[in-house]
Chains A and B, each alone.
Chain A
Amino acid sequence: MAIADLANPTHFLKFANRAIPVLGGLASIAFAFGINQAINSPDDYQQGATVKIMYLHVPGAWLGMLGWGVMTVAALGTLVWRHPLADVAAKAAAPIGAAFTLMCLVTGSLWGRPMWGTYWVWDARLTSVLLLFLLYLGVIALWRTVEDPSRAARAAAVLTLVGAVDLPIIKFSVDWWNTLHQPASVFRMGGPTIDPALLVPLFVMTTAFTLAFFAFLLAAMRNEILRRRVRTLQLMQAGAVS
C-alpha cells in the first residue's frame, strides 16, 4: 500500500487496524525497558532522586508540542487541500496533545516543589506551556461547539495556525527571557549536557511515550472516521424517514 493510498479513509482504516496493535506492543516493551532503566538510573548530584521525574516531564513536553505540530500540518491540509482526513487527524490529535501537555505541567509542578520551593511561577516557559494547554482546550471546545464537521474543521484550523506561534515561544522562552526553568539541556546546539547514565533512560522513555502517542493518534483517527460514518448513516436514515 502506497502512502498516498492512506488518504482514502477505507485504506486508512485497514492500515490503522494493523498498525495500532504493533505500535501498542512496541510501546509496552519500551515502557517496561524504560521504567526498569529509570528505577535503576543514578540520582543527580544536585537534584537527588527527583531527577526521575524528568523521564516523564520531558516526554510530556515533547509530545504536547508534537501534538500541536501534527495539528498544524493537518490544519494546512484542511485549509489548502480541503482533505477530510486532515480534519480527522486534527480533531483526533487535540485531546491526546492536551493530555500530554497536562502531564508536562503536573509532573513539572511536582518536580518544581521540592527543587524550586514552589509548584508554580509565572515565568516564560511555564506560562507558554500553560497557554498551549489552554489553546488545546479552545480547539476541543470549538470542535464540540460547531455541529457541522467541515465548518468546525476550518475554524479549528485557523485557531491551530494562530496557536502554532506558541511553539517557538515555548522552545526559546528560556533563551529570550530570564526564567526559573532551566535552559535547554537535551535539544541544543553542541549536544546534550546530561550525563549518558541519565540520558539513555530519558531516550527510552521518550521513545515509549512517542510510540504510545502514535498508537493513540491512529486509534482516535479510526474512531473519528467511524463516528463520521455513523453520522452520515444517521442523516441518511433521517432523510429516508422524513
Chain B
Amino acid sequence: MEAATHTGFIVAAYAFAFGVVGGLTAWVMADYRAQLRKLTALEKRGIVRRSAPPAGTIEQAKENA
C-alpha cells in the first residue's frame, strides 16, 4: 500500500528529470540549426567574415546537423 502510494512520486521525479534532459537536448539542437540557417542566409547574400571558411562549408555543416 505504502509502496504503491510512493510510486507516483518516483515516476513523477524520473519523468521530470528526463524532461529536463530531453528539453536541454531539444534546445541546443534547435538553436544550432537556427544559427546555421541564419549564417547560410547571410553567406548566400555574400556577407562573410574575412576569415570565413570556403563557401558552402556552413551548408555542409547544416546537412550534418
Contact = CB atoms under 8 A, between A and B. Distances in A.
Do they bind each other? Answer: yes
Interface of A: 10, 17, 48-50, 52-53, 56-57, 60, 95-96, 99-100, 102-103, 106-107, 110-111, 113-114, 209, 212, 216, 219-220, 222-223, 226-227, 229-230, 232-234, 236-237, 240
A99 B2 contact: no
A100 B19 CA distance: 11
B20 A99 contact: yes
Nearest to B61: A17
Contacts of B14: 52, 56
Contacts of B48: 233
Given A220-B28, A222-B32, A223-B31, A229 B9 contact: no
B55 interface: no
Chain A's interface: helix, strand, loop or mixed, by majority? helix
Interface of B: 2-3, 5-7, 9-10, 12-14, 16-17, 20-21, 23-25, 27-29, 31-32, 35-36, 38-39, 42, 45, 47-49, 51, 61
Nearest to B50: A236
B13 A110 contact: yes
A129 to B, nearest CB: 15
A96 B24 contact: yes
28 contacts: A17-B61, A48-B2, A49-B3, A52-B10, A53-B13, A56-B13, A60-B17, A95-B27, A103-B17, A103-B20, A106-B16, A107-B13, A110-B9, A110-B12, A111-B9, A114-B5, A114-B6, A212-B21, A219-B29, A220-B31, A226-B35, A229-B49, A230-B35, A232-B49, A233-B42, A233-B48, A236-B47, A237-B42
